[in-house]
Structure 1
Amino acid sequence: MAPDDDRERMLEWVERVAMFCGDAWGLAPITGRILGWLLICTPAEQSAGEIADAIGASRASMTSNMRLLTSVGLVRRRTRQGERTTYYRIEDDAFEKVVRQRLAAFAAFGEIAEEALQFGGEDGERTRRIRSAQQSIALLTGPVA
């Protein structure tokens, strides 16, 4: 396969990641493209300019997206001695962090749902809906208190 064909396939895959991140996590497409590119790029550590060039993004759009990705711990930034350029790479445990954050959010909602039982009273249908939510959450996180 020619290098141009390979690059085209890689960029198509990056676009699929962008669509997934938007649909599943509500992220902007550019954020998903950055994640996708950092998963498959060589070298694994790249500057914002290199990433922007690779995915066809403006360098201005990179700043806020890189800040977001580094603040949630998915991407690590670093500088090299004697250079002013900042380099980025996806954290080795990036997706483990995503899963843990999602599970923690579900567990927190399970606790909120527990509080809703006080509104159930004699309304069996309302209580059933709350219990159904709790059971679904427990499948992911373990039993709700």
Structure 2
Amino acid sequence: MDEQRRDEELLAWVERVAAFFAKNNGLPLITGRVLGWLMVCDPPEQTAAQIAAAIGASKGSLSTAVRVLEAGGFVRTVTRPAERGVRLRVVDDVWERVARRKLEALGQFSGITADGLEILRDDPARAGRVRDAHRLFAWLEREIPPLFQRWEEDSS
């Protein structure tokens, strides 16, 4: 595959990443584009100017996106000796940490649903919806730790 075609395919892939995070996490498209680009760029550490040029965005539009990605633990800044600015890169092991955090949060919702069941213990009709949620989230709470234990065993 020639370099121009590969670059076009990479940018299309970056757009798919952006659309995924917009749909599933409510992130602005620009934030997803920055993340997608940082996943595939070479070198892996990029300045705001490099990112903006690659994804066709203004440097100004990147600042909010970068803050969101830093706050979420997706990217980190890197400094180099004799350079004034910072570079950005995807945090090592970010996907495991993000997946673990999201899945564990779902499992932790079982405590909230258990409290709801206690409050509604004398009202079975209203408790039914909470009970359905509780069954799922209690199951997730039990199943997520072994899932990540298997991941750690398989990936080491």
Aligned partner letter, 2:133 = A
Q: Which amino acid aligns with 2:124?
A: G
Q: Deviations over 1:36-85 (max 9, x none)?
A: 11111111111111011101111001111111211221101011011112
Deviations 1:3-49 (A, max 9, x none): 11111100110000000001111111011111111111111111111
Aligned counterpart, 1:50? 50
| Residue equivalent to 1:12 | 12
Name the SS of the counterpart of 2:60 in structure 1.
helix
Q: Which moved more, 1:132-141 or 1:86-95?
A: 132-141
Aligned length: 143
What is the alpha-carbon distance in structure 1 between the residues aligned to residue 98 and residue 16 of structure 2? 18
Q: CA deviation at 1:112?
A: 1.6
**Match for residue 117 of structure 1?**
117
Structure 2: which amino acid aligns with 1:62? L
Identity of aligned residues (%): 42
The alpha-carbon deviation at position 138 of structure 1 amounts to: 2.7
> Of Structure 1 and Structure 2, which has the larger fraction of its residues in helix?
2
Aligned to 1:26: 26
The question of whether the paired residues in 1 share the 8 Å contact of 2:45 and 2:78 is answered with no
**Conserved in 2, the CA contact under 8 Å of 1:79 and 1:87?**
yes
Question: SS of 1:142's equivalent?
Answer: helix
TM-score (norm 2): 0.84
Q: Distance in 1 between matches of 2:64 and 2:133?
A: 35
Q: Give the drift of 1:139.
A: 3.1
Rounded to whole Å, the distance in 2 between the matches of 1:42 and 1:130 is 49
Alignment check: 8 A CA contact 1:74 1:97 kept: no
1:77 is matched with 77
Mean alpha-carbon deviation: is it higher for 29-38 or for 124-133?
124-133
SS at 2:43 equivalent: coil
Distance in 1 between the 2:78 and 2:134 partners?
Answer: 42
